[in-house]
Amino acid sequence: MCSELLAQIVASLVAGDPDATVDGTRQALAAGIEPLAIIDGGLVPGMRIVGEKYSTGEYFLPNLIVSASGMKQAMAILVPELKARRQHLTSSGTVVIGTVRGDIHEIGKSLVATMLAANGFEVHDLGVDVPTDAFVARVKEAGANLVGLSALLTTTMHGQKDVIDALTKAGLRAQVKVMVGGAPVTRKWADDIGADGWAQDAVAAVDLATRLVAHVQQVV
Amino acid sequence: MRPTLRMLSESLVEQIIAEGMALLRDPGVRVHNEEARRLLAEAGADVDAVRLIARIPETIVRQALETTAHEFDLFTLDGRPAVHYGGDEVHFDPGSAALSILDPETNRQRVPLTADFVRLVKLVEQLPQIDAQSTAMVCGDVVPEIGDLYRLYLALNYIRKPIVTGAFRTDTWWTMKEMLVAVAGGEAALAARPIAVFDVCPSPPLLWSDLTCQNLIDCARAGIPAELVSMPLAGATAPVTLAAAVVQHTAECLSGIVIGQLARPGARVVWGGSPAAFDMREGTTPMGDVATWMIDCAYAQVGKRLGLPTHAYLGMSDAKIIDAQCGMESAGGTLLGALAGINMISGAGMMDFESCQSLEKLVIDAEIIGMAKRLVRGIEPRDEPIALSLFRKLGHRADYLAEPHTLKWFRKELYLPSPVIDRATTDGWLRKGATTAAERAAERVGSLVASYQPSPVPPELRAELRAITTRAARKFGMTALPPLPDFERV
């Protein structure tokens, strides 16, 4: 029964049916399955398959987004349950994300934000054309351990460095890992400006974020 | 007969226009410009001053479609009509505002500099297939705040052809206007014989930013033509179904026509755009995609139904180097745009979506454009009867090469390519160095630029343009402009 319900959750994510993912999550809770077991045995494996299908070219961005939205809705049900049990996700972190100053491109940034939220991160999405100081202020306020900076233009990517410099100046650099992304952004650029990581797409960004946050937690 | 591409059935065109009008009523268009909101409210639109949304009734749109210019000409700097916006006439200009140039030495992109821009402008002057200039690259050797006007300043020192341009700010538009007025010999002369058109871009979906809206209003008032560049991104900032993306384009352009006409009835506003079908794998905006071309041709058909002059960004490639993909994508869009009768097709030379200009690609694209222009001239009978007299004379002899009839017609009937296109025998190709198209293009860029003859700009006008530009540069902390190639010592 348990494994059947979890298999249904996996199938709903792979099929891209958020309503079924939510229903399955509710049914699993009602059947007495622990929230952590639902996540580890249903949601995470389901999203992993979706991510793999995206990586191999079988699935496209709309598949990714719709499944992530299903997982996000399911997490919204499960997180209060976890809190009630005084449990927490080991992999998750708090991320402040936005497109840097002068750049109004939203799609890539929102995709990463959705995928992170779907994977249990607490996401503070500051939107687009975000002033450098706003990143710093929100990191402080939310106690974030991860910052995601997006830029689509060669003319605006320098704004990523500005945020990193501002975090250093505010004495927050040791507490956060910074990941950068966007069409013109490369691993070399990330290294040059002192970012902790670079990801080429939203699936890779989740892997990177998980690795970076695990690292922070180890250090702390 | 001119061969023509029709993308939509007549009834679908009507439905798209009706739904475009309906979108302007509900949910309305977001207008982040105070003056435009005031104009719309005064005309009877329902303006929400908090959410900055204008709901525009159809009567206002219909009225604007009555008064807007249905055709007009762009003129060369010496006053000859060179581009006719209206009907099915087709013209081409290079893609605009590239942030990088493909360096033919390294085959990688780099920041364009003044010398690159001037070289491009000279090349465009020398390419007969290209009808208009554009402010095609943003130069990295001036402060970014004058990036828009500096391009126009450079171009006006070298060009004869009219120019497609655009402003990145509201204040720089006035500096650019000042330059155009100086070149045209007064405001009235500029309005009577416009030499430039400004691209103004609504943001998808259904938003007029403060900047672009102000540019539109200012153009309308000054009698300078404006080109609406609506860019629905199907599947991301617009619906993925192509017809629905065209509905969004229709609503955005109709609202632009309305704002232009409210600023000044009779203003020249072009039904244009740069849509794309979102790439569902990479999340990019492919200009070389067949669905992108289909949206372009479809909205052009809608614009024609409304009796408006048309524009589109076509003939570009998403390739990063000059390769098979580059040629294939550029040819596809160019040929379809020509068949759709789009008055101004911007994009030649452009690659890597809309971010990189290549002079070498531009001369290859000029060949594609030459063929496209030949294509839309269609097939004419030429003689009456078409062939019978010739056959009565020659019978079964294959002597047409020696026939005066051939000499009389071959230049009109055939497109005669430059040496960029290889049609030699294999031996001939090997003897000439076994070159690729890109290599032959690089050679042609060199010879065309070298053959450029300076435009007859009087020294006092040159000085005035420099003074206008220097004043603008000083406002942003730049005291001296880079030397003007050929005129000032480097």
Each residue's pLDDT tens digit, B430-443: 999 999 999 999 99
The pLDDT value given to residue B456: 86
Let me know whether A102 and A164 are in one domain: yes
Q: Can you tell me the mean pLDDT for B451-471?
A: 95
Let me know whether A208 and A102 are in one domain: yes
A62 to chain B: which residues are within 8 Å by CB? 235, 280
pLDDT tens profile B61-94: 999 999 999 999 999 999 999 999 999 999 999 9
Query: Band of the pLDDT at B323, cuts 50, 70, 90?
Result: very high
B236 touches chain A (CB under 8 A): yes
- Count interface pairs A-B at CB distance under 8 A: 25
Let me know whether A53 and A157 are in one domain: no
Let me know whether B172 and B42 are in one domain: no
In the structure encoding, which two tokens stand for residue B153, read together? Answer: 């300043």
CATH label of the domain that carries residue A197:
3.40.50.280
In the structure encoding, which two tokens stand for residue A53, read together? Answer: 């299908």
The pLDDT value given to residue B181: 98
Let me know whether A73 and A180 are in one domain: no
The secondary structure of chain A in percent helix, strand, coil, rounded to multiples of 5, reads 60, 10, 30
Q: Can you tell me the mean pLDDT for B166-186?
A: 96
Let me know whether B38 and B88 are in one domain: no
Structural domain includes residue A89: no
Q: Is the Cα dihedral B448, B451, B455, B459 positive or negative?
A: positive
Let me know whether A62 and A105 are in one domain: no
The pLDDT value given to residue A170: 95
A 10 A CB-CB count for B88 gives 16
pLDDT above 50 for A220: no
What is the percent of chain B with per-residue pLDDT over 70, rounded to a whole number? 100
| Domain final residue, candidates A84, A117, A152 | A84
Let me know whether B235 and B360 are in one domain: yes
Let me know whether A100 and A69 are in one domain: no
Candidates A112, A155, A157, A185, partner chain B, best to mutate (most B CBs within 10 A)? A155
Cβ distance of A107 and B235 shorter than 8 Å: no
The pLDDT value given to residue B290: 98
Residue A146 CA: distances (Å) to CA of A69, A149, B16: 21, 10, 46
The distance between the two most distant Cα atoms of chain A, rounded to a whole number of Å, is: 56
Task: Give the distance from residue A5's alpha carbon to the nearest chain B alpha carbon, in angstroms.
Answer: 31
Q: Is the bond into B81 cis (omega within 30 degrees of 0)?
A: no
Smallest Cβ–Cβ distance between A61 and the set B99, B203, B280 belongs to: B280
Structural domain includes residue B184: yes
CA dihedral B150, B156, B159, B163 (to 10 degrees): 70
Residue B424 near residue B432, CB atoms below 8 Å = yes
B459 touches chain A (CB under 8 A): no
Count of domains in chain B? 2
Residue B471 CA: distances (Å) to CA of A84, B133, B185, B479, B488: 66, 25, 20, 9, 18
Let me know whether A74 and A98 are in one domain: no
Round to whole Å and give the CA distance between B330 and B315: 4
Cβ distance of A62 and B235 shorter than 8 Å: yes
Let me know whether B54 and B196 are in one domain: no
pLDDT above 70 for A90: no
Q: What angle do CA B352, B355, B359 make, to 5 degrees?
A: 80
Let me know whether B118 and B252 are in one domain: yes
pLDDT tens profile A136-175: 999 999 999 999 999 987 778 889 999 999 999 999 999 9
Residue A150 near residue A182, CB atoms below 8 Å = yes
Q: Can you tell me the mean pLDDT for B19-42?
A: 98
Let me know whether B81 and B22 are in one domain: no
Q: Is the Cα dihedral B29, B32, B37, B40 positive or negative?
A: negative
Let me know whether B23 and B168 are in one domain: no
Let me know whether B46 and B151 are in one domain: no
Let me know whether B243 and B333 are in one domain: yes
**B170-184 helix and B459-475 helix, angle to the nearest 10 degrees:** 170
Let me know whether A125 and A46 are in one domain: no
Can you give the residue range of the structural domain that contains A211? 94-219
Please report which residue ranges of B44-84 form alpha helices under DSSP H: 58-67
The pLDDT value given to residue B188: 97
| Domain final residue, candidates A84, A112, A141 | A84
pLDDT tens profile B210-240: 999 999 999 999 999 999 999 999 999 999 9
Let me know whether B167 and B245 are in one domain: yes
The pLDDT value given to residue A115: 86
Let me know whether A98 and A80 are in one domain: no
Let me know whether A198 and A110 are in one domain: yes
Position A128: which residue type? Answer: V
The pLDDT value given to residue A119: 81
Structural domain includes residue B144: yes
Structural domain includes residue B470: no
A 10 A CB-CB count for B169 gives 17
Cβ distance of B283 and A201 shorter than 8 Å: yes
Count of domains in chain A? 2
Let me know whether B251 and B303 are in one domain: yes
A111 to chain B: which residues are within 8 Å by CB? 283
| Domain final residue, candidates A84, A117, A150 | A84
Burial of B248 (0-12, 13-18, 19+ CB in 10 A): buried
Let me know whether A180 and A132 are in one domain: yes
Residue B199 near residue B230, CB atoms below 8 Å = no
A155 to chain B: which residues are within 8 Å by CB? 99, 144
Residue B482 CA: distances (Å) to CA of B140, B171, B269, B489: 11, 22, 34, 10
Can you give the residue range of the structural domain that contains B54? 10-59
Smallest Cβ–Cβ distance between B281 and the set A60, A107, A153 belongs to: A60
pLDDT tens profile B143-164: 989 999 999 999 999 999 999 9
Structural domain includes residue B121: yes
Burial of B78 (0-12, 13-18, 19+ CB in 10 A): exposed
The pLDDT value given to residue A118: 80
| Domain final residue, candidates B326, B348, B377 | B377
Let me know whether B70 and B49 are in one domain: no
Structural domain includes residue A160: yes
Let me know whether A158 and A114 are in one domain: yes
Round to whole Å and give the CA distance between B490 and B465: 19
B291 touches chain A (CB under 8 A): no
Structural domain includes residue B461: no
A57 to chain B: which residues are within 8 Å by CB? 281
Query: Band of the pLDDT at A217, cuts 50, 70, 90?
Result: low
Candidates B281, B352, B353, partner chain A, best to mutate (most A CBs within 10 A)? B281
pLDDT above 70 for A40: yes
Cβ distance of B237 and A108 shorter than 8 Å: no
